[in-house]
Amino acid sequence: MYLLGEQSAYADALINRLQNLPALWLESLAPCAAALELDATDDLIAHLPVDQLFLLTDGVINGCIGARPLFYWQEGDLIGLQQGDAWADWRLCSDGPLRLQPYRRKEVFRHLYADPERADLFLEYMLGQMAILAHAVADLKPREFRSTNGFKRVDAGEILIHQGDAADHVFVIIDGHAQAFVDGYKVGEVFKDEIFGAMALFTGEPRNATVIAREASTIMLIPSDQFLSMTRTNPKIAHSLIESMARRIGLLNKQITQLTVAKG
């Protein structure tokens, strides 16, 4: 079972190797019936007895979860290994004719485990498919970025950001509490799990505020290039950032209103 889509050179080589293994296991085991020949089908499972496994000798089979095709098998692969409740929501289909050589499921496994070499080949086949899927997931999954500076423990009163400095990092308070000041005046609070220091990153301007730890805190530092990539690939981070900025703008508006009233 392989993921649809372009494969790496490593995966292609491994797929070619794995395709030859089932025929080697079954070399001295007699099929339980004549080959099953089918036309294109949207529901192959309905045509396959659950007590049998099938060597695919001609055609290509696609596996779908819901309406989405995700997997495929080609000539040389063994069909029917995936059974049970964990596979209840999937479907096998084919756009063209198929030829499948049937074997009794129990007989196949007895045959495999009767010989250590065959058992090793079967294990190699299963582990190889897992490796192919793992490589495919690694290629498809957006990168998860880690800060090159990692986590930093700061004391109360320590300055985390200086007003006027260039923006090269974004910060997240993992544990603790900080406060933001503009020209010496307090303008806001920064709480646990909140992202700060991003505004200057987006505008390209110097830091517009100084941020000071109000208590001993743990801070995560994320390099600017990594953070920008994260906002493009992870909507949750962008959403959290927007919420944080909206809250700060609301606080600033409130302070401006209070100052205006006080002056009036």
Share of the chain above pLDDT 90, in %: 30
CA distances from 88 to 64, 66, 85 (A): 11, 10, 5
What are the sequence ranges of the domains in the chain?
2-140, 151-263
Q: What is the pLDDT of residues 117-156, one digit of tens each?
A: 999 888 888 888 888 777 776 666 554 444 445 788 899 9
Candidates 62, 61, 65; CA nearest to 89 is 65
Residues 6+ apart with CB under 8 A from 64: 70, 90, 91, 92, 93
- Mean pLDDT, all residues of the chain: 81
Most confidently modeled of 138-147, 153-162, 185-194, 201-210? 153-162
- CATH node for 2-140: 2.60.120.10
| CATH architecture under which domain 151-263 falls | Sandwich (2.60)
Q: Do the first three CATH levels of 2-140 and 151-263 match, i.e. the same topology?
A: yes
Rounded to a whole number of angstroms, the distance between the first and last alpha carbons of the chain is: 74
Candidates 252, 251, 240, 250; CA nearest to 193 is 240
